[in-house]
Structure 1
């Protein structure tokens, strides 16, 4: 009986392309970080990069990683390359700001780098599974 119920549930809930769409829309939450950068600028990021020996102009890449890439992914355009851009953006953010938070828990019990890792892992999944059927641009490559 339990097996029959599980099989029915599996049949009714098997919609991988819908799941990919929901995942793509979820990565759109990264836009809030990007909008903040559009309003406040990337001067702070540029200063941190310079302190690590990286040219300040590299900080403008955050506009692609936190604004353009999430929008393109939500629309289903160039999902895999945009996922790579977000992965890179999250790695740089981690290295510049959040390495000390890696082994911490905040005041409400969340992992110190929880949101960063969420965007990193969502992008990693999109990189491996693609955007799905409900995309503006098909990713057929086989």
Structure 2
């Protein structure tokens, strides 16, 4: 069977970024909880809008294949921040089914990191820039 790496990269982009879009859309206009967490640790509430960059802007760029490597890096760091802010107490915790409590965040983060190293592949809007 012939390998099609570019199709695999497209599927990875659509899966990782597409599923994250649901989280971003759900947060549209509902940043109170995130801004409250930031205030509690002394960070300005405006930083909460970074959620939109991580969960809306970066995934859209990843899906369409525009500056995918840069968008994936932003996405990865957003997932690391989410892990540290909200789920740091669950890093070694196991779920009822035996998996890690944070496995979904890890899948998002390392899926994005993989795209940072590989780029978007040929099925993308932009393929010639160093950040594609």
Shift of 1:139: 3.7
Q: Does 1:34 align with 2:38?
A: no
Partner of 2:121: 132
Structure 2 unaligned segments of length 5 or more: list them.
none
Once the two structures are TM-superposed, the CA of residue 140 in structure 1 deviates from its matched residue by: 4.5
* Matches of 2:2 and 2:110, distance apart in 1: 23
Runs of 4+ in 1 over 2 A off after TM superposition: none
| Gapped regions of structure 1 (runs ≥ 5) | 1-11
Larger radius of gyration: 1
Q: Structure 1's 53 and 21: CA in aligned 2 closer, same or farther, altered over 3 A?
A: same
CA contact (8 A) 2:79 2:108 kept: yes
Contact 1:130 1:139 (8 Å CA) reproduced: no
| TM superposition score normalised by structure 1 | 0.86
More helix by share: 1
Please name the residue that 1:52 is paired with: 41
Give me the whole-angstrom Cα distance separating, in 1, the residues matched to 2:129 and 2:46.
35
- The answer on whether the counterparts of 2:67 and 2:129 sit within 8 Å (CA) in structure 1 is no
Q: Could you give the per-residue CA deviations for residues 13-40 of structure 1, whole angstroms, max 9, x where no partner exists?
A: 411111111110111101111111115x
TM-score scaled to structure 2, two decimals?
0.92
Structure 2 residue aligned with 1:74, among 63, 67, 74? 63
